Structure 1
Amino acid sequence: MAMRVLETITNMTQLCQKIVHINIRWSVLNKVPFFRQSFRFLWDRILMCSVGKSIQYRRLHRCASSPSPAAIECKFASGDPTTTCTDYDKDSDLVALKISLLGDCQIGKTSFVIKYVGDEQEHRCLQTTGLNLMDKTLFIKGARIAFSIWDVGGDHRSLDHVPVACKDAEAILFMFDLTSRCTLNSIIGWHRQARKWNQMAIPIIIGTKFDDFVQLPLDMQWTIVSQARMYTKAMKATLFFSSATHNINVNKIFKFITAKLFNLPWTVERNLTIGEPIIDY
């Protein structure tokens, strides 16, 4: 009798141990998704810290469907308060894009930027000797795109700012005055300096002061257009004629940059008609 009781107790003890073992296994299995999610979260944090912007680019592609051309026109409309924002606290959906501006003095670079970012942003820009920084943020399909615009002064003392302005830039705007051929000739030197520090940025050539340019004789206009197009081909760039005074092609240039970077279904139409704002690529 005692032997049976002892055997029963032994069997019950073994059964309890198996039940406890099974419960522990189920407890671990139930926690696996939690550990997996925690690991993925930590891994994403590590990737974001190590590669920066590329993660943000992929997030924009994954979370946002590509807008239509009409939607892009609407989203990038100048002065639309629903598309601009200066709040950088909530950066979970923020994609920062660095844009550099290079060119000689007195060609209208700063006026060009102020026309795009708005007069209210002019007073919030960071100014140093030979370098101005301005910003503007847009909304596209739930993602925020923040342009950080680095405007390098055009004198020789400003050359020291070229490395920091061009490094990590997504696009570099080489600007010249359409009424001054010497400023057009200078963009070759600016391009050479910029490519020392950044060979991947999108090159864009911009002729400013188009409103004054159209007052020139047609033969002079044709000469400048031909030379600008030749430089555009040599630099594998895109050419825009613009006017900050009349807001000609200012917004369109930044639309083009954004569409180019994120493969959005929007392209500019070429315009090679003398007397109209030239667009060539």
Structure 2
Amino acid sequence: MNGCIYMLGLLEMTKFRGQMVRVHVKWGLARQVSFLKRVFRYLIDRILACSCDRRSSYKRLEMSPSAFSGRFLPENGFQESVLKCMSGDSDGDSNLVVLKISLLGDCQIGKTSFMTKYVGDEEDKSCLQMTGLNLMDKIFFIQGARIAFSIWDVGGDRQFLDHVPVACKDAAAILIMFDLTSRSTLNSVIDWYRLARQWNQTAIPILIGTKFDDFVHLPPDIQWTIVNQARMYAHAMKATLFFSSALHNINVNKIFKFITAKLFDLPWSIERNLTIGEPIIDF
């Protein structure tokens, strides 16, 4: 009798151990799968965050071209008379006031298009291009004085960071730029701002979101998220925020008019615009 009870006890213990082994095996597999998922998600996040050539984009609403055309008219901007853009002639250069403007931000966000839109397509404009750095000048009159904006466009690739010190030193204004349709470029603006401030603590900071003509087609909830994040960053940087489009000349001239008014204490002011779906201006 005792032998039978003993054998039954052994059988029960064997079944229990078998169940425990199966539980441990399943738990171990579940932990491995969970770990692999976390690793995969981390790698994807890093690729999206660090990729400079592939910009993260958002799902767009289908809108006809007519839905955008005519909503935001290209502005005439500054009523300035452009004489020339630093051709070889140096006559009268002693009366020229030169002010450096620096453009910083990730690659593929439209900095060069923004600069070219403002300077114009004059054949005699001065343009110096080198690896990772573009320079353009624009001369105009302000109350009888000849002013030249010397605009320095630094390449967004990390290999060109060596150009940042020379571009930022003695700059009157620093424009930190990002692509409104690429969240990763917006996340980078604080790093660009901190880097710029290492070499210049007095320049006027301006935060600029580019490609507004594409941004306006995004879903309203995505636009709302980007607007609020950009405003938060601009507040932290103590910078004025502009949404712009080089293609449609939205706020391009207005930004440089704002810089000029700030530098020369001119009686000109801008109006805040926080309406979702319109080019934001905040300060």
Normalization by structure 2: what TM-score?
Answer: 0.70
1:5-44 alignment, distance < 5 Å: none
Tell me the alpha carbon deviations over residues 161-194 of structure 1, each in whole angstroms, 9 at most, x when there is no partner: 0000000000000000000110001011101110
Give the Cα–Cα distance (whole angstroms) in 2 for the partners of residues 84 and 227 of structure 1. 40
1:26-65 alignment, distance < 5 Å: none
Change (3 A) 1:96 1:276: same
Aligned length: 206
Return the match for 2:229 from 227, 230, 243.
227
Change (3 A) 1:74 1:187: closer
Counterpart for residue 60 of structure 1: none
AA of the residue aligned to 1:218: P
Change (3 A) 1:213 1:88: farther
| Displacement after TM superposition at 1:84 (Å) | 3.4
The reply to whether residue 120 of structure 1 matches residue 122 of structure 2 is yes
Tell me the alpha carbon deviations over residues 13-33 of structure 1, each in whole angstroms, 9 at most, x when there is no partner: xxxxxxxxxxxxxxxxxxxxx
Counterpart for residue 238 of structure 1: 240
Counterpart for residue 61 of structure 2: none
Counterpart for residue 16 of structure 2: none
AA of the residue aligned to 1:212: D
| Displacement after TM superposition at 1:123 (Å) | 7.0
1:1-281 alignment, distance < 5 Å: 76-77=78-79, 82-86=81-85, 88-120=90-122, 124-281=126-283
Quick check: 1:210–1:241 contact (8 Å CA) kept in 2? yes
SS in 2 for 1:256: helix
SS in 1 for 2:270: coil
Quick check: 2:84–2:125 contact (8 Å CA) kept in 1? no
Change (3 A) 1:219 1:74: closer
| Displacement after TM superposition at 1:83 (Å) | 3.1
Give the Cα–Cα distance (whole angstroms) in 2 for the partners of residues 221 and 74 of structure 1. 26
Tell me the alpha carbon deviations over residues 216-264 of structure 1, each in whole angstroms, 9 at most, x when there is no partner: 0000000000000000100000000000000000000000000001110
Give the Cα–Cα distance (whole angstroms) in 2 for the partners of residues 116 and 179 of structure 1. 22
Give the Cα–Cα distance (whole angstroms) in 1 for the partners of residues 77 and 206 of structure 2. 22
Give the Cα–Cα distance (whole angstroms) in 2 for the partners of residues 183 and 144 of structure 1. 36
Percent sequence identity is 77
| Displacement after TM superposition at 1:76 (Å) | 2.2
AA of the residue aligned to 1:84: L
Tell me the alpha carbon deviations over residues 66-113 of structure 1, each in whole angstroms, 9 at most, x when there is no partner: xxxxxxx98924xx6x33333542024311110000000000000000
| Displacement after TM superposition at 1:140 (Å) | 1.3
Quick check: 1:114–1:122 contact (8 Å CA) kept in 2? no
| Displacement after TM superposition at 1:124 (Å) | 3.7
Quick check: 2:103–2:176 contact (8 Å CA) kept in 1? yes
AA of the residue aligned to 1:200: T
Quick check: 2:77–2:253 contact (8 Å CA) kept in 1? no
Normalization by structure 1: what TM-score?
Answer: 0.70
Give the Cα–Cα distance (whole angstroms) in 2 for the partners of residues 84 and 239 of structure 1. 30
Moved over 3 A (4+): 121-124
Give the Cα–Cα distance (whole angstroms) in 2 for the partners of residues 185 and 112 of structure 1. 20
- Unmatched runs of 5 consecutive residues or more in structure 2: 1-74
SS in 1 for 2:116: helix
Change (3 A) 1:251 1:275: same
Higher RCO (C-alpha 8 Å, min separation 6): 2
Tell me the alpha carbon deviations over residues 115-153 of structure 1, each in whole angstroms, 9 at most, x when there is no partner: 000123697410111000001011012101100000000
CA RMSD of aligned residues (A): 1.8
Structure (1/2) with the larger helix percentage? 1
Give the Cα–Cα distance (whole angstroms) in 2 for the partners of residues 166 and 256 of structure 1. 19
Give the Cα–Cα distance (whole angstroms) in 2 for the partners of residues 265 and 233 of structure 1. 24
